[in-house]
Amino acid sequence: DQQVKQNSPSLSVQEGRISILNCDYTNSMFDYFLWYKKYPAEGPTFLISISSIKDKNEDGRFTVFLNKSAKHLSLHIVPSQPGDSAVYFCAADNTDKLIFGTGTRLQVFP
């Protein structure tokens, strides 16, 4: 049973617009949620995280929103840039291990 789900395998957004990547989870006991970005032939790179006691965390162009009642989080990228084209993974912290979603491939076109 998959505890962290990213239901959209891909997303295409025009440069300068907002990209919204979504993630759903099933376990209400998760402490932290994280977003990673992965380019081809590289390992995942940590982007931003949010504690379960918060509902928003912002870092530059990246903002993560957490809706605990809906067990849903989202990553907003604004404005989107071509260099943001990558696979984005959400992950949930379960005590001392991370549980990952399957990823969403974001393509930002000019």
Partner 1 sequence: ETGVTQTPRHLVMGMTNKKSLKCEQHLGHNAMYWYKQSAKKPLELMFVYSLEERVENNSVPSRFSPECPNSSHLFLHLHTLQPEDSALYLCASSQDRLAGGPEQFFGPGTRLTVL
Q: Residues interacting with partner 1, by CB under 8 A?
A: 2, 4, 31-32, 34, 36, 41-46, 49, 89, 93, 95-103
4 vs 75 by CB, closer to partner 1: 4
Which CB, 97 or 110, lies closer to partner 1?
97
Nearest approach in angstroms of CB 95 to partner 1 is 8
Residue 2 in tokens: 């998959």
> How far is 33 from 100, CA to CA, in rounded Å?
10
**Parallel, antiparallel, or unpaired for β 86-94 and 32-38?**
antiparallel
CB of 93 to partner 1, least distance (A): 4
For partner 1, the closer of residues 46 and 109 by Cβ is: 46
CB of 97 to partner 1, least distance (A): 6
Residue with tokens 């099933």: 26
Give CA–CA dist 21/12, Å, rounded: 11
